[in-house]
């Protein structure tokens, strides 16, 4: 009989679900628990995908299929301490735990909590600068947005968006669209009402390099070009013409043709239509208010060197603006780890893993330069000394940085899951041979240089024998933490599906895709449904 395989996953976005699905399909003996700091699963599929792109959310059907497996559990409203603290990484109603609280109860760990912090430019910090991520959170109803004021659209005519990626185009498209058309989509009603007060006339999207280096896709650009009631300000021929003889990829050629076509469309200045523009070769250096009280943004003007890198020319430019939004990518938030989080040998005692005085600011698994989890091949996590952290893996944006789409996250997740399974089978085979048994299977040999933070299969088996009901509902250790912190509710997947159905029902009544509920509404709804806050013996359907 193979040893136990118990996987804890931090995060419940696409990467987490795809990894869980793959592991469960390959290991009958596996059990997988997903933990997320938000009450709702699915990560950026719910709180990142543009509301007017509902087709992107079709992957949720696959996630529901995975969650229907009796070996799968989801625990929402469970956050793990990060270096930016509860204000950034969790919400007031979340259960907040050290990452090491998972170690004694699972044989394997997957870090798949994405990249939730925006990259910023310190010199652009001002009272009229915000991140594009905060706007995305606002129009998708992310719980963090409830703690921030809405964007000052009623006093804004000109917005400067920094960054030529899909997020910038998503934000521009939503802010320039007719609110009455948006009202049919999965957007909270208070957002629609606020958009109706908007006085935005123009959005300028700026980047440091040229048209051939933009990160947005042809699909996103085409949608902006075809946006009803919105005109595109032409790009000067002097910017586009040099690319005619350049060695471009197919994607770059398609984008260039769209930019040329859009620049030839008739545009009449002062026609009253809302407008948008793309500007290139500009690096923002500061935001300031001039002596007349006018908000300004200053740029260094660039040119490209032979390697396609932006190089300052020494020239500067100042533009008037009302609001600056930066979309410069994202990075992961390091965990608060204890000095004992990566012991050099397995520990059978949870008390040996962490204590209050052990907490330190450095996460030994975090690469401060790349701003993500440090991994070697195929998602295997490494510590700061270059040692493999046995049975600990990372996938998705947490492991690779904030790049790629849902499909690429799926392929990466499958690769990490296959590696995890191969390592597990190889270890099982080695242990079986050492005990004089037939090997279970062949796989990747265990690494000689490694640290062992996770529990042994024997320790986990002993816990499960003592707490058999925990295999179906909250495990005893989690139940204890819930009561200790007096958390209102840790959400299971069954409870999430009840909320999901209720949001869709309310949306149908309102003539839209769904009506998103606040946490207060959710808690009251689940209570009215007879769902206890702390189910002691809630078995899966």
pLDDT at 58: 95
CB atoms within 10 A of CB 85: 12
Q: Can you list the residues of the chain whose pLDDT is less than 50?
A: 86-89, 339-360, 435-446, 535-541
Task: Report the distance separating Cα 521 and Cα 540, nearest Å.
Answer: 24
Computed from CA positions of residues 150, 152, 158, 162, in that sequence, does the dihedral angle turn out positive or negative?
Answer: negative
End-to-end Cα spacing for the chain: 28
Look up residue 160 and give its two tokens.
């400067």
Q: Which of 56, 51, 60, 94 is nearest to 188 (CA)?
A: 51
The predicted pLDDT at position 536 comes to 45
Give pLDDT tens digits for 80-136.
998 875 444 457 788 999 999 999 999 999 999 999 999 999 999 999 999 999 999
Q: What is the pTM of this model?
A: 0.89
In this predicted structure, what is the pLDDT of residue 354? 38
Distances (CA, A) of 207 to 162, 214, 234: 6, 8, 16
> Could you count the other beta carbons within 10 Å of the beta carbon of residue 230?
19
Looking at the chain, the domain(s) classified CATH 3.40.50.720 span 5-117+332-492
User: Which CATH number applies to 120-328?
Assistant: 3.50.50.60
Range(s) within the chain of domains with CATH label 3.50.50.60: 120-328
Rounded CA gap, 178 and 74, in Å?
38
> Top-level CATH class of 5-117+332-492?
alpha beta
| Partner residues linked to 297 by β-bridges | 287, 319
Which three-class secondary structure state does DSSP give residue 112?
Answer: coil
Which pLDDT score is estimated for 394?
98
**Count of Cβ atoms closer than 10 Å to residue 504 Cβ:** 15
Cα–Cα distance measured from residue 29 to residue 24, given in angstroms and rounded to the nearest whole number: 8
Residue 450 has which token pair? Answer: 């490694």
Rounded to whole angstroms, the Cα distance separating 8 from 110 reads: 6
pLDDT of amino acid 427: 82
Give the per-residue pLDDT at 451.
84
At 92 the pLDDT is 75
For 222-283, give the secondary structure using H, E and C.
Answer: HHHHCCCCEEECCCCHHHHHHHCCCCCCHHHHHHHHHHHHHHHCCCCCCCCCEEEEEECCEE
Please report where in the chains the tokens 């040999």 appear, as a residue: 445
């Amino acid at each position: 009989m193979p040893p136990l395989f118990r996987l804890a996953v931090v995060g419940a976005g696409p990467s987490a679900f795809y990894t869980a699905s793959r592991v469960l399909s390959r290991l009958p003996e596996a059990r997988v628990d997903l933990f997320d700091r938000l009450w709702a699963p699915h990560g950026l599929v719910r709180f990142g995908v543009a509301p007017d792109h509902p087709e992107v959310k079709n992957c949720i059907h696959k996630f529901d299929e995975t969650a229907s497996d009796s070996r799968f559990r989801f625990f929402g409203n469970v956050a793990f301490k990060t270096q930016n603290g509860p204000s950034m990484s969790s919400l007031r109603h979340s259960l907040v735990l050290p990452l090491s609280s998972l170690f004694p109860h699972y044989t394997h760990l997957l870090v798949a909590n994405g990249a939730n912090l925006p990259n910023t430019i310190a010199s652009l910090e001002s009272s009229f600068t915000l991140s594009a991520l905060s706007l995305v959170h606002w129009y998708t109803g992310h719980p963090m947005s409830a703690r921030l004021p809405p964007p000052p659209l009623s006093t804004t005519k000109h917005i400067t968006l920094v960054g030529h990626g899909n997020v910038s185009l998503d934000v521009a498209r939503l802010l320039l669209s007719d609110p009455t058309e948006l009202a049919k989509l999965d957007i909270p009603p208070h957002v629609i009402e606020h958009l109706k007060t908007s006085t935005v006339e123009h959005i300028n999207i700026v980047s440091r390099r040229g048209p051939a280096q933009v990160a947005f896709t042809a699909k996103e650009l085409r949608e902006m070009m075809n946006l009803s009631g919105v005109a595109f300000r032409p790009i000067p021929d002097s910017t586009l013409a040099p690319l005619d003889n350049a060695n471009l990829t197919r994607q770059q050629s398609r984008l260039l043709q769209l930019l040329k076509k859009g620049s030839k469309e008739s545009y009449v200045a002062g026609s009253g239509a809302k407008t948008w523009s793309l500007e290139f070769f500009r690096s923002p250096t500061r935001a300031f208010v001039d002596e007349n009280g006018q908000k300004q943004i200053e740029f260094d003007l660039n040119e490209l060197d032979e390697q396609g890198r932006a190089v300052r020319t020494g020239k500067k430019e100042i533009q008037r603006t009302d609001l600056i939004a930066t979309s410069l990518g994202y990075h992961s938030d390091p965990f608060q780890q204890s000095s004992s989080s990566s012991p050099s040998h397995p520990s059978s005692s949870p008390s040996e893993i962490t204590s209050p005085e052990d907490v330190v600011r450095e996460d030994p698994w975090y690469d401060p330069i790349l701003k993500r989890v440090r991994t070697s091949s195929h998602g295997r996590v490494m510590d700061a000394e270059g040692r493999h952290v046995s049975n600990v893996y990372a996938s998705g944006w947490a492991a690779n940085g904030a790049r790629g789409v849902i499909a690429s996250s799926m392929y990466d997740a499958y690769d990490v899951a296959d590696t995890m399974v191969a390592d597990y089978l190889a270890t099982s085979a080695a242990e079986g041979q050492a005990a004089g048994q037939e090997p279970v299977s062949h796989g990747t040999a265990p690494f000689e240089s490694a640290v062992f933070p996770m529990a042994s299969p024997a320790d986990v088996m002993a816990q499960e024998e003592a707490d058999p009901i925990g295999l179906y509902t909250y495990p005893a250790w989690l139940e204890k933490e819930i009561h200790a912190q007096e958390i209102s509710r840790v959400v299971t997947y069954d409870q999430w599906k009840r909320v999901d159905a209720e949001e869709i029902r309310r949306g149908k009544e309102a003539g839209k895709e769904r009506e998103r509920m606040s946490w207060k509404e959710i808690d009251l709804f689940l209570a009215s449904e007879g769902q206890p806050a702390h189910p002691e013996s809630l078995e899966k359907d």
